Amino acid sequence: MLTFSTVAQVNKLIIGRTTGVFELENKDSIRVFGFTNTLSGQVTLPGTTLEVIEGDTVLLDFWNISQGDPHEIVIKGIELTKTNTSAKEQLDQRVYHMEHGYYHFLAKNPGTYIYYCPINYPFNLQAGMFGVLIIRPQKALLNPKNKELLWCSFEMDTNWHNNEVMDVEYDEQATPLEWPAYNPKHFFINGKTNQQLKEQEMVLNISSKQTTVLRLANTGFWQHKIKFPQELNVEIKRTSNLKNSELNKLNQLTVDPLETFEIWITSQKKTKETIQYDFINPATNKVENTQYIPVKIQNNLLN
Amino acid sequence: MIMIKNIIALILLCCTIQLTAQSDKTFVVKGNSINHDNIPTNGKLDISKISVVNVSNKAIFLEWETVSNTFPKGWDCSMCQHGACQIGIPKGSIFKQLNPDQEGYIAIHVMPQNNIGNGQVKFKIYDRDHPDFFEIITFNVDAL
């Protein structure tokens, strides 16, 4: 049997920012922190997506071009080894203003992972310092025909995005950290909400002849319950979510904070339903907001 | 004769005004106001920095403007000022408060993205309360 391997040393650049601008649906701009991979590129939510292949040896070059508190990268589910560029950084694991921090890891297990800044947790995460790492299996290279999508969902409380809150150097505070009560009023999937989810780039176009690989990541603080139309065959391939790891009879799954799923979707039937995202407040267990993503079945010859 | 006296008086007056203005300056460039850096096209200019220092006896706020920027289009670059790092190189902004004797700076970062070339970016820095006095600082970068 013929096999091949493309294991490689891969370098990825992540630039840390604290002066990003994010546009809300009503065109209001708010300040965000975040991760990019260019010096002149605006911060996006989620930040730059890292893609590697199973078996790769990965070097993350984290360049902190921000002022105030230092920052750090962690990837949930992957142990990182860090080497530092300055004597100051030898004392701790953080990366200071205009320094590089180099993180190494072996991309051992295929899957979808969330990376984020754990400093001042959960503030920097809410501020926008999060992104997604995808480790593709070697065998995916043999079958590149599957269509792939990533949906990263999160809530946002704009009271956490005022300069008065964002400019505080918490690292130098003697008193315990305190932020405004978390009361999100904005709910996003890939940084889009409400009518924006009906735009072409967000509509889930499924071909009856092809499997669609959908990666789900929850970078918010609330539970996100996702209900798929019954006409869709949804199969969970991988998840980091040990507590809620199954699809229920309603074709519904729950993504807990900082958890991910990789699901495979096929369909032989048309549907008029949408994919429903419920944002659940853990304090009340109530659905506070619901977002809808349209579904279109293409090349449907069977129905 | 009277006309010559008037001209001399005028010259003296101008010199006095100039000296007064000089003595009113609240900040100066520390070291060289022009930086030159060479970097490989596939590399990074991690930082090129020019500092200023508050030489007055009170806190000041310095503003800056981009006077010119001839960096090639394919280059990826950004800058930081005392107090904030910018995405790209914008038209201008303001330093965080500088206390007496405190240093501030403007720094640039460049990734030429495999594009050979050279360019120059100039910034004008001035005291928000004394905008007539300013300093020009210059960053020259060659990607070889």
Does the global pTM surpass 0.80?
yes
Interface test with B, best of A38, A39, A99 (most B CBs within 10 A): A39
Are both A9-142 and A163-298 of the same fold? Answer: yes
Q: A136-145, A231-240, A290-299: lowest mean pLDDT where? A: A136-145
ipTM value: 0.85
Interface test with A, best of B87, B114, B139, B141 (most A CBs within 10 A): B87
Give the pLDDT of chain B (144 residues) as one tens digit per residue: 566 666 666 555 444 445 444 557 999 999 999 999 999 999 999 999 999 999 999 999 999 999 999 999 999 999 999 999 999 999 999 999 999 999 999 999 999 999 999 999 999 999 999 999 999 999 999 999
> CA–CA separation, A39 vs A33, rounded Å?
14
pLDDT at A117 over 80: yes
Percent of chain A scored above 90 by pLDDT?
A: 69
CB-CB neighbors (< 8 A) of A62 in chain B: none
pLDDT at A181 over 60: yes
Which residue pairs from A2-10 have beta carbons closer than 8 angstroms and sit at least 24 positions apart in sequence?
A5/A55, A5/A138, A6/A53, A6/A55, A6/A138, A6/A141, A7/A53, A7/A55, A7/A56, A7/A57, A8/A53, A8/A56, A8/A57, A9/A56, A9/A57, A9/A59, A10/A52, A10/A53, A10/A56, A10/A57, A10/A58, A10/A59, A10/A107
Predicted local confidence at residue B141, as pLDDT: 98
Q: Which of A38, A40, A66 sits opposite B85 (nearest CB)?
A: A66
Task: For each of the domains in chain B, give its residue range(s) and CATH number, in order of start.
Answer: 26-143 (2.60.40.10)
Q: Do A40 and B87 touch (CB under 8 A)?
A: yes
Q: Do A43 and B87 touch (CB under 8 A)?
A: yes
Domain ranges of chain A: 9-142, 163-298
pLDDT at A303 over 50: no
Q: Which of A18, A39, A67 sits opposite B111 (nearest CB)?
A: A39
Q: Which of A17, A20, A40 sits opposite B77 (nearest CB)?
A: A40
Q: Using beta carbons and an 8 Å cutoff, which residues of B are at the interface with A?
A: 46-47, 76-78, 80, 83-89, 107, 109-111
Amino acid identity at A173 = Q
Percent of chain A scored above 70 by pLDDT?
A: 89
pLDDT at A210 over 90: no
CB-CB neighbors (< 8 A) of B47 in chain A: 98
Q: Do A43 and B107 touch (CB under 8 A)?
A: no
For A163-298, CATH gives 2.60.40
Q: Using beta carbons and an 8 Å cutoff, which residues of A are at the interface with B?
A: 17-20, 36, 38-43, 63, 65-67, 97-98, 100
For the segment A178-206, the average pLDDT, to the nearest whole number, is 92
How many CB pairs below 8 Å do chains A and B form together? 45
**Which CATH fold would you assign to the domain A9-142?**
Immunoglobulin-like (2.60.40)
Ramachandran area for residue B117 (φ above 0: left; ψ -120 to 50: alpha; else beta): left
CB-CB neighbors (< 8 A) of B111 in chain A: 38-39
Q: Do B46 and A43 touch (CB under 8 A)?
A: no
Question: Is the CB of residue B72 less than 8 Å from the CB of residue B119?
Answer: yes
Q: Do A17 and B87 touch (CB under 8 A)?
A: yes
CB-CB neighbors (< 8 A) of A17 in chain B: 85, 87
Q: Which of B47, B85, B111 sits opposite A19 (nearest CB)?
A: B85
